[in-house]
Chains A and B, each alone.
Chain A
Amino acid sequence: MEFQLLIEQLLNGLQFGTMLFLMSAGLTLVFGVMGLINLAHGSFYMIGAFGAALLAEITGSFFIGLISSFIFAMFAGVITEILVIRKLYKKDHLDQVLATFALILIFSEGIRWIFGAYPLYLNIPSELNASVSLPLEIIYSKYRLLIIAIGILIAFFLYILTSKTLLGIRIKAGQNDREMISVLGVNIKTLYTIVFALGAALAGLSGALIGAIQSVEVGMGEPVLILAFVVVIIGGIGSIKGAFVGALLVGVTDTLGRFLLPELFKLFFNNADANLIGSSIASMSIYILMAIVLIFKPSGLFGKSSA
């Protein structure tokens, strides 16, 4: 029984990790390619979730909701990039932090204005809201498995996109030398808009996927944003591979930490103390992980030498 529980927790960690990857992919690209710290990335997560909840309510189809989350967040990304983000590339990190913090306020209050203060609900369709039996007598949620599958599929797609296509080569070139690639006739402005919008769309999709498990509310993006930053830093800025490894590492560490640490401390303390200490340390575990990674590898696991 313990073993099945452990596997189940591991799958939860994997599901959490793949979602974090969707969130971090855009963040790390925008970070790496445009050198922009985007605190407002969590807002696209929120916009995606609200878009999905709205369209699922109107059409009655969860899948139309999912697709629209992608589209809504992408549009929001394009508009934000053209109106604001574009002006920030040449500014220093401090200004970027401040301006994108301001964007969070605008997006969060804007959504609260339109939808009101109460959370919305996005329901998982009944055919997915069930359990499925896996080998070794493991029973697991169908929906969460779907999330893992989508996450891995998109990771694969992004890998192909960044390493095998013309767009990916241009993105990489822009990362290395933005003057040179604009001299070579690539429209760098459009390229940046595409990268930003793609990142926003992925964040929106993950917002919708998670919104169906939790609730869809204002401010849902910020806790995930901080985690996504942790992922980006652990993986190394600008690296899709790093983001994938980092996301899985963070997801599994967090989930297993909460499950295993109290058990571990039971070897040394009485049950109540062990639960208390274990869960306190577990809540900090990913930040401890990040601090350790940075202390030994100051530019992340797959990052280039110090920024």
Chain B
Amino acid sequence: MMSEKKLNFLILIFLFFLPLFSILLNDIYITTLFSKIVILAIAGIGLNLILGYGGMVSFGHAAFFGLGGYVTGILAFHFNNYEPIQILVFEFEGTNQLLLIWIFTLIFSSILALFIGYFSLRTSGVYFIMITLAFAQMLYYFSISWPTYGGEDGLSLSLRNQIPFFNTMDPITFFYICYVWLIITIIFVKFILNSPLGISLKASKENEDRVRSVGINPKKVKLISFIISGAITGLAGSLYADLNRFVSPTILSWQMSGEIMILVILGGMFRLYGPILGAFFYIILEQFLGGITENWQFWLGFIILLEVLYAKAGLISFLIKDKYDEKTSS
């Protein structure tokens, strides 16, 4: 048992030295596996901003994750076949430069989040869960039925996209790229949470009327947070596409939304580092159970069920000593 700060610090140190273990054990697959964990953790932190702190249960974050993936895949696809992207009368060149791709991903997922958020935030509660799901499903079915970028089969990238001076095909380099993005995300979300925006977001979750009474528009606060959340998850999707060098409609599916949501809840909401533990637990369990039994999902189901019924505050509550309290934790 330890304080939350100490645990957070340990998580980051552990991840930093992870490639070293991977080299010592002579198993580079560990690094790739942890790249996946770090990417899903970024997506989870993005979702947690609105889920844990804002009380908005989005069941459609795969829309942003998938869009990020597809922006990355499509830009690389056009770079590789030298055909410009045509949108009405405009033409764009594809690119394989990650810095550019990330900027495009952030822009496009923000625009999508503005659109989805604007309409979804007119509803609340269960209806909000379902309308976000509906938007994600629209994109999912669109990606299946639109054949230009592979339709149901998806799109393969022959090489990972590039970043100057680094070899992104090297698993350890790619891991550290993801790691740096994780750190940036944590710092950024922490900054947001302590800013007037984050404080009014948390207040809107508790009592919208009070927020309104001091002259802040809670809808606007929620919408801006939703956009930030979508952009972060979109970026994670972009990294995921490069990690696998493959995008397919699966990353837009409702199971993907569910998976991101599950790792947030498993790790513990209301805590910035919760999704990292959640992602770690989820992926490791998947690997571990997958190694010992063909029916690993059966046991995964059991473990999740027990967790929900008996460990309300998520896994993180097993590791740190301060008692779970929604109101004081942030």
Contacts and interface: CB of A to CB of B under 8 A. Distances in A.
Interface stretch (A66-74, A99-107, A171-179): A99-107
B146 interface: yes
Nearest to B147: A276
Contact of B124 (A95, A98, A283, A307): A307
Contacts of B126: 31, 37, 93, 233, 237, 307
A145 B318 CA distance: 57
A263 interface: no
Interface in A28-43: 31, 37
Contact of A280 (B59, B142, B266, B297): B142
A280 to B, nearest CB: 4
Contact of B127 (A99, A233, A280, A283): A233
A91 B309 CA distance: 9
Contacts of B288: none
Contact of A226 (B125, B127, B133, B295): B133
B221 interface: no
Contacts of A299: 123, 127
Interface string B226-267: 000000000000000000000000000011001001100110
A84 B305 CA distance: 9
Interface string A65-96: 00000000000000000001001000101110
A168 interface: no
B122 A294 contact: yes
Interface in B143-183: 144-147
Interface residues of A, number: 44
B125 A307 contact: yes
Given A97-B59, A306-B127, A113 B304 contact: no
Interface in A235-259: 237
Nearest to A117: B294
Contacts of A283: 141-142, 144-145
Contacts of B224: none
A108 B297 contact: yes
A242 B288 CA distance: 45
A94 B119 contact: no
B134 interface: yes
A295 B119 contact: yes
B260 to A, nearest CB: 12
Contacts of B304: 98-99, 101-102, 105
Contact of A106 (B129, B298, B308, B312): B298
A298 B123 contact: yes
Can you list the 9 inter-chain pairs with the closest CB atoms, starting with the nearest?
Answer: A105-B301, A109-B298, A106-B301, A102-B304, A283-B141, A102-B305, A307-B125, A102-B301, A284-B138
Interface of A: 31, 37, 84, 87, 91, 93-95, 97-99, 101-106, 108-110, 112-113, 222, 226, 229-230, 233, 237, 276, 279-280, 283-284, 287-288, 290-291, 294-295, 298-300, 306-307
